[in-house]
Amino acid sequence: MSEQNKSIGALAALCAVIWVLAAIHPVDRHAWILENLLLVLFVFALSLTHRRLQLSNASYLFIALFIILHTIGAHYTYAKMPIGLWTKDFLGFSRNHADRVAHFGFGFFLAFPVRDLLLRFSGIRHGWSFWLPPAIILAISGFFEILESIVAEIVAPGKGVEWLGGQGDQWDAQNDMLSALLGSLIMMAAVLLTNGKRKAR
């Protein structure tokens, strides 16, 4: 086993342990299954492609961080996540913003591996590698909102945004997408700054 495979194995094991712990008595089993559907598909796709499209260790670390974040969110269901409830009470928000943090985390953590993927395999020039990942993150985020609306119509027809994800926010989809976009832009800015420093040295 190569050095990289060892560290990927360790990350996968860590994620698996947290996932199993979170799978025990989740707050809402139905919501948990729904939230985990996409996660399972994502991990399945990663494991299928990882030989052909191998990413850097840093990329896998960011992916693992996002998986852990989502695993915890799925355990509590985002609307009932304790940290979100505390901040809601503390800062006087009208809703639990944990899901928005997760959308932000989606953009922030996954923009890095997306950029890595593009630089390694797509052939794009360096300069383009900073704004294409935010575009891809935003596209996936939009696609996710479309899926969410279809699921909402199937599970709770007519209830619309009142159901789960929306928590009654009429502009929930737009605000979620904006969070993801901001997360990805901040990550790209961070990469740009650290790259610049490395060059200056």
Partner 1 sequence: MKQPHARFIDNSFLQIALACYVLFWIALAIHPIDRSDWFLENLLVFVTASVLIPTYLKFQLSNLSYALILLFLAFHAIGAHYTYAKVPAGFWLMDLLHLKRNHYDRVIHFAFGFLLLYPMRELFQRSARAHETWAVWLAAATIAALSSFFEILEGIIAQVVRPDLGAAYLGTQGDIWDAQKDMTAAFLGAILTAVLLSLRQHIRH
From 160, 167, 186, 191, residue interacting with partner 1 (rule: CB under 8 A): 160
Nearest alpha carbon to residue 102 among 185, 48, 43, 177:
177
Q: Which residue blocks in the chain are alpha helix, DSSP H?
A: 3-23, 29-49, 57-76, 82-91, 98-117, 132-155, 172-200
Residue 138 is a binding residue for partner 1 (CB under 8 A): yes
Residue 134 is a binding residue for partner 1 (CB under 8 A): yes
Q: Residue 172 CB: number of other CB atoms within 10 A? A: 20
**Listed ranges 7-15, 80-88, 172-180, 188-196: which one lies at the site for partner 1 (CB under 8 A):** 172-180
Cα separations in angstroms, 188 against 35, 71, 184: 27, 25, 6
Our CB check for partner 1 shows the closer of 137 and 164 to be 137
From 181, 185, 187, 188, residue interacting with partner 1 (rule: CB under 8 A): 181
Nearest alpha carbon to residue 187 among 107, 102, 99:
107
**Listed ranges 16-24, 54-62, 70-78, 165-173: which one lies at the site for partner 1 (CB under 8 A):** 165-173
What is d(CA 201, CA 198) in angstroms, rounded to the nearest whole number? 5
- The answer to whether 164 and 152 have CB atoms below 8 angstroms apart is yes
What is d(CA 165, CA 97) in angstroms, rounded to the nearest whole number? 11
Residue 135 is a binding residue for partner 1 (CB under 8 A): yes
SS3 at position 171? coil
Instruction: Find the shortest distance in angstroms from Cβ 141 to partner 1.
Output: 6
From 61, 83, 132, 186, residue interacting with partner 1 (rule: CB under 8 A): 132
Residue 170 is a binding residue for partner 1 (CB under 8 A): yes
Instruction: Find the shortest distance in angstroms from Cβ 148 to partner 1.
Output: 8
Instruction: Find the shortest distance in angstroms from Cβ 87 to partner 1.
Output: 21
**Listed ranges 27-35, 40-48, 69-77, 138-146: which one lies at the site for partner 1 (CB under 8 A):** 138-146
| Residues of this chain, 16-45, that bind partner 1 according to CB under 8 A | none
> Which value, in Å, is the radius of gyration of the alpha carbons in the chain?
18
Q: Residue 38 CB: number of other CB atoms within 10 A? A: 13
Interacting residues toward partner 1 by CB under 8 A = 118, 121-125, 128, 132, 134-143, 145-146, 148-149, 153, 160-161, 170-171, 173-175, 177-178, 181
